[in-house]
């Protein structure tokens, strides 16, 4: 459509002007300027007296009104500049204030999980790069602030289990926000998930204690916490644990801790359910592959085979002895060497009440498993011992070594420590721990009254022992410092294994490449190390390289000190 003027000068026709140009030059420019001024004034007045949610609702309302008017009164070409003017006046100029608004801003909405308000805010903020960038930064700041508090040393010292529980709950909260409020655009979802991944990985790997604490939490769940939960709730709980596990860079260290906790649950029948245990291992297997869980699965297989072997032995024993039952209620576990976290193995001379039974079991097992040997790890065993006192009977739950000491007092009422050691063959350091534990509950008395037990001390039976409970657990003390430093000991073990793994990776890479620049070698080593479920830092890799150079596996190039040469 075109417009014409009838005005003429010197009989010359005025040049034709397109109506769209008139629309833009004489209407749209002024219209947009006045619209901008109007909304800037309204926005400034509004933001002083309303909450963030109220402001966003008003902005949403105004934006919809403008879109409606566009269809009735304005050319479609005005839509984009008009929306831009509105977003600039209402959102971009006030986005920082909206985010930081005390007790109502975006950080507050995130903390309180106000899904509808967050979604409204997101839809408005995504209209410009500036406001959306601030939106992303705010979500990052929200996650960082919470995680910094949760993983602080103070929180861990208060209650490590509660800290892990809070981290799991916070991650669930963040994922609920992403799903309920920000599940709008697939492209933008990648931004949010990357923020979650990067922030959680950063804070959860600040120190190595989370691997230990997360295992403590899993142990607590599989021992007691899941007892009142349904199958669905338990599966959900394990999935939440796996979500946190995914963020750990030191999965090799986690596996070491997991094996120790699992060993304790299996050997002492402390697990609520074998199915829950297997479900957790299957989830770890899906995440890290079959090699990662191979030893854990062998541990379960050992327990299953041990139970069947024990059943077969008891049937054989009763038949052979022509008795209706065994003289002792005993359970023996056969463990595959190398698959269980058993470092120190000590044996002792077992009491006459037990020794014949153990001898028979050894004969039975070796006869049915040709080519195998048995090493008795009595320092990992437990026993239940009944005692008859003048007034009441008591039952003690103790270690096998403590049991070996206790039953000696059926023969006489006092022994020197030296005599006890000769009769039990328990190493002195271990024996000292056993005796100290029983002295602590006054099961026996040290007649020498020494502060530190020596082999000359005399330990006497206490006929006046009393306790309010019928069943009493004797403290299972360990060598001084061992319990306290279990985490540190395993960390050192893993560090050594990592050193060997990185050394092997470097030699393997350099053997095939022969010549390689430092940065390239570091990148390749990090890729190789992911197979072993850990990410070595650059200083650690550099330290291993220097060690290999000193041992003449590698050398620096004479032409470029930043290039390594493999020495065959």
Q: What is the edge-to-edge ordering of all strands in the sheet holding 458-461?
A: 414-416, 458-461, 444-446
Q: Once rounded to an integer, what is the mean pLDDT over residues 71-85?
A: 85
Please name every residue paired with 2 in a beta bridge, in sequence order, or none if there are none: 18
Alpha-carbon Rg for the chain in angstroms = 37
Tokens of 195: 């923020």
Q: Name the pLDDT band for 18 (thresholds 50, 70, 90).
A: low
* All residues at 6 or more sequence positions from 224 whose CB lies less than 8 Å from its CB, including other chains: 272
Q: Name the pLDDT band for 453 (thresholds 50, 70, 90).
A: confident
pLDDT of residue 421: 94
**Residue 550 predicted with pLDDT over 70:** yes
Please name every residue paired with 349 in a beta bridge, in sequence order, or none if there are none: none
Q: Is 221 helix (H, G, I), strand (E, B) or coil?
A: helix
Give the pLDDT confidence of 128-153 residue by residue, as tens digits.
899 999 999 999 999 999 999 998 86
CA-to-CA separations, 95 to 46, 101, 531, in angstroms, rounded: 13, 10, 45
Dist CA 474 CA 383 (whole Å): 11
Q: Is 449 helix (H, G, I), strand (E, B) or coil?
A: coil
Question: For 173-177, which contacts have Cβ atoms below 8 Å and span 24 or more sequence positions?
Answer: 173/113, 174/143, 175/243, 176/113, 177/110, 177/113, 177/115, 177/118
pTM: 0.80
CA-to-CA separations, 100 to 54, 104, 106, 147, 184, in angstroms, rounded: 15, 8, 7, 19, 23
Question: What is 64-127 written as a DSSP string?
Answer: HHHHHHHHHHS-GGGHHHHHHHHHHHHTGGGHHHHHH-TTTSHHHHHHTT-HHHHHHHHHHHTT
Give the pLDDT confidence of 157-213 residue by residue, as tens digits.
678 889 999 999 999 999 999 888 887 666 777 888 899 999 999 999 987 788 889
Q: Name the pLDDT band for 5 (thresholds 50, 70, 90).
A: very low
- Percent with pLDDT over 90 in the chain: 44
- Give the helix/strand (H/E) hosting 306: helix 290-321
**Residue 350 predicted with pLDDT over 60:** yes
Give the pLDDT confidence of 409-424 residue by residue, as tens digits.
999 999 999 999 999 9
Residue-averaged pLDDT of the chain: 86
Q: Judge contact between 439 and 465, C-beta under 8 A.
A: no
């Amino acid at each position: 459509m075109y417009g014409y003027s009838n005005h003429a000068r010197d009989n010359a026709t005025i040049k034709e002007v397109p109506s769209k140009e008139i629309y833009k030059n004489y209407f749209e420019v002024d219209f947009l300027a006045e619209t901008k001024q109007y909304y800037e004034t309204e926005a400034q007045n509004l933001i002083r007296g309303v909450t963030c949610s109220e402001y966003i609702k008003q902005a949403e309302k105004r934006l919809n009104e403008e879109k409606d008017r566009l269809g009735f009164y304005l050319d479609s070409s005005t839509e984009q500049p008009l929306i831009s003017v509105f977003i600039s006046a209402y959102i971009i100029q006030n986005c920082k204030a909206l985010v930081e608004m005390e007790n109502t801003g975006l950080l507050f909405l995130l903390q309180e999980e106000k899904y509808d308000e967050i979604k409204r805010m997101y839809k408005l903020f995504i209209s410009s790069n500036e406001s959306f960038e601030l939106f992303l930064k705010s979500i990052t700041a929200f996650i960082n602030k919470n995680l910094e508090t949760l993983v602080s040393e103070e929180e861990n010292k208060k209650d490590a289990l509660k800290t892990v529980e809070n981290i799991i709950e916070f991650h669930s909260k963040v994922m609920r926000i992403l799903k309920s409020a920000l599940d709008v655009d697939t492209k933008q979802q990648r931004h949010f998930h990357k923020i979650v991944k990067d922030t959680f990985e950063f804070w959860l790997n600040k120190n190595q204690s989370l691997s230990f604490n997360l295992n403590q939490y899993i142990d607590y769940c599989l021992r007691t916490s899941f007892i009142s939960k349904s199958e669905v709730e338990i599966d959900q709980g394990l999935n939440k644990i796996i979500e946190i596990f995914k963020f750990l860079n030191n999965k090799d260290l986690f596996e070491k801790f997991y094996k120790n906790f699992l060993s304790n649950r299996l050997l002492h029948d402390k697990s609520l359910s074998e199915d829950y245990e297997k479900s957790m291992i299957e989830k770890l297997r899906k995440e890290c592959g079959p090699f990662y869980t191979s030893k854990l699965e062998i541990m379960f297989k050992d327990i299953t085979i041990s139970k069947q072997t024990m059943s077969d032995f008891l049937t054989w024993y009763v038949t052979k002895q022509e008795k209706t039952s065994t003289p002792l209620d005993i359970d023996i576990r056969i463990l595959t060497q190398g698959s269980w976290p058993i470092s120190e193995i000590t044996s002792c001379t077992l009491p006459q009440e037990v020794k014949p039974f153990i001898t028979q079991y050894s004969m039975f097992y070796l006869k049915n498993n040709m080519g195998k040997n048995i090493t008795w790890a009595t320092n990992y065993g437990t026993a239940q011992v009944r005692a008859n006192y003048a007034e009441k009977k008591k039952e003690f739950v103790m270690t096998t070594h403590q049991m070996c000491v206790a039953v000696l007092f059926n023969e006489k009422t006092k022994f020197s420590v030296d005599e006890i050691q000769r009769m039990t063959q328990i190493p002195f350091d271990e024996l000292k721990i056993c005796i100290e534990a029983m002295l602590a509950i006054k099961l026996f008395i040290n007649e020498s009254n020494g502060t530190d037990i020596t082999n000359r001390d005399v330990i006497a039976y206490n006929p006046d022992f009393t306790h309010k409970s019928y069943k009493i657990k004797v403290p299972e003390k360990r060598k001084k410092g061992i319990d306290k430093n279990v985490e540190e000991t395993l960390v050192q073990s893993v560090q050594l294994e990592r050193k060997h793994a990185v050394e092997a990776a470097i030699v393997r890479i350099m053997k095939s490449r022969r010549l390689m620049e430092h940065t390239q070698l570091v990148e390749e080593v990090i890729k190789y190390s992911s197979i072993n479920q850990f990410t070595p830092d650059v200083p650690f890799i550099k330290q291993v390289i220097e060690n290999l150079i000193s041992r003449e596996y590698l050398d620096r190039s004479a032409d470029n000190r930043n290039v390594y040469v493999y020495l065959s």
